[in-house]
């Protein structure tokens, strides 16, 4: 059983920054590949960024150059640093991992608005 808890969401102005955190349970956190997804009402959940157990990162085109995913295995936490945010980044952000089966966090709301 893996539990994922997101935090750090909130309201931010366009061009601003926000850092999301995803804390995971389990003593083998370092072996998890972790992804961040986002979802807006009426649309499918979309992949934002991912980081492998070895630290390899991947980003969706809309966030390349603006978002950075990183991990701290000592804290069982993956971060999503969001810079130069845009109104279209407004969504509920979820972290996800697959270990025997898929696990989702409860999500954290990010609202980008002036």
Yes or no: say if 90 and 40 are a contact pair by the CB < 8 Å rule: yes
Strand partners, 109: 92
pLDDT score for 102: 94
Tens-digit pLDDT profile for residues 43-70: 999 999 999 999 999 999 999 999 999 9
Tens-digit pLDDT profile for residues 20-49: 999 999 778 888 999 999 999 999 999 999
Strand partners, 110: 10, 91
Yes or no: say if 78 and 21 are a contact pair by the CB < 8 Å rule: yes
Q: Which residue has the tokens 């898929």?
A: 102
pLDDT score for 4: 96
Tens-digit pLDDT profile for residues 90-113: 999 999 999 899 999 999 999 999
Strand partners, 71: 78
CA gap 14, 3 in Å, rounded: 32
Yes or no: say if 24 and 34 are a contact pair by the CB < 8 Å rule: yes
Q: Provide DSSP, 26-61.
A: STTGGG--EEEEEE-TTS--EEEEEE-TT--EEE-G
């Amino acid at each position: 059983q893996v539990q994922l808890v997101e935090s750090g969401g909130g309201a931010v102005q366009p061009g601003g920054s926000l850092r999301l955190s995803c804390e995971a349970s389990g003593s083998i956190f370092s072996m998890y590949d972790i992804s961040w997804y986002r979802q807006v009402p009426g649309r499918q959940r979309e992949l934002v960024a991912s980081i492998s157990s070895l630290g390899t990162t991947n980003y969706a085109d809309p966030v390349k150059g603006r978002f950075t995913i990183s991990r701290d295995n000592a804290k069982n936490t993956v971060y999503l640093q969001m810079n130069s945010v845009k109104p279209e980044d407004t969504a509920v952000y979820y972290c996800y991992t697959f270990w025997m089966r898929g696990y989702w966090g409860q999500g954290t709301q990010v609202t980008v608005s002036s």
